[in-house]
Amino acid sequence: MTDAADTLDDGKLTVHHDFVWLLHRNGLDTFESYYDEKLGRLLRDVGPRANVRLTLDAAGRPRTFYLKRHEPLRFVEKLRAWLCCRRPRTAARTEWDNIGRLARLGIATSQPVTLGEDPLTGRSFLMTAEIDSAVPADDFVREHFVSRDAAVVRNRRRFVRRLARLIRRLHNARMTHRDLYLCHVFVRRLGEEYRLHLIDLQRLGGHVFRRRWRVKDLAQLEFSRPPEVFSLTDVVRFLRTYFDVDRLGSREKCFVRSVLRKVRRMRQRAVRETS
């Protein structure tokens, strides 16, 4: 949860209280310390956002964290906030708050560590802890559910229902992920069991809950569905669980047709971008 937090560096850092000692121990108690070029390994740099993987000394043992740095908000984002009569919010602040929103819903996600915001430059960042023993769901299902063995099939169907219930809970709370590809669902192993975590919550929406965002969420899941793992029967099973019905009626089928139209557009765009 993000409610129990302390501040450092004249308020530029908001730190979950469980990690204050860790940041002091590793010299990460100022805003600028998170912009050291030698800090961690750069995973991705797409201009307005950079992702860094770093390992810190946690009382004699290494622990992995992920740092997401954001450039200042663009003018159009500030203008949109002004038109909506709200203060501009940094991308890092938005994701920090969204982690707390999901935690209060009982939906597992990343553990927030540090939020950094510099009011003078507009830069911001968010650091989260690695989810222990967790892998992206698209990797998990390819590893565990490809076989047609009866036990594997039962476990695959169980996974499909659990995923559908997770998304139903999110949408029933009038929130949408808006970047809901299967790689943004993490599976954390707990012995013989596992738990599903939603990550990458920067775009999580709830202020305006519209049908189009629900359609987009399910379309992104379908777009990222590995067809060698999940059959069309699995898709129907997911939809029945998501809608909480024994069979799909006319209302549900109308919604599904909207999802499939969105998926077709996504695939066409992907082909154009690679051609």
DSSP string, 12-47: TEEEEGGGHHHHHHTT--SSGGGG-TTSSEEEEE-S
Residues 6+ apart with CB under 8 A from 171: 214, 217
Instruction: Report all structural domains of the chain as residue ranges with CATH numbers, in order of start.
Output: 5-129 (3.30.200.20), 134-274 (1.10.510.10)
Average pLDDT value for the chain:
91
Encode pLDDT of 123-163 as tens digits: 999 999 999 999 999 999 999 999 999 999 999 999 999 99
Can you give the pLDDT at residue 4? 73
pLDDT in tens, 182-241: 999 999 998 889 999 999 999 998 766 789 999 999 999 999 999 999 999 999 999 999
pTM of the model: 0.89
State how far the Cα of 114 lies from the Cα of 53, in Å rounded to an integer: 14
Which has more pLDDT, 34 or 85? 34
- Is residue 134 a contact partner of residue 221, using CB atoms and an 8 Å limit? no
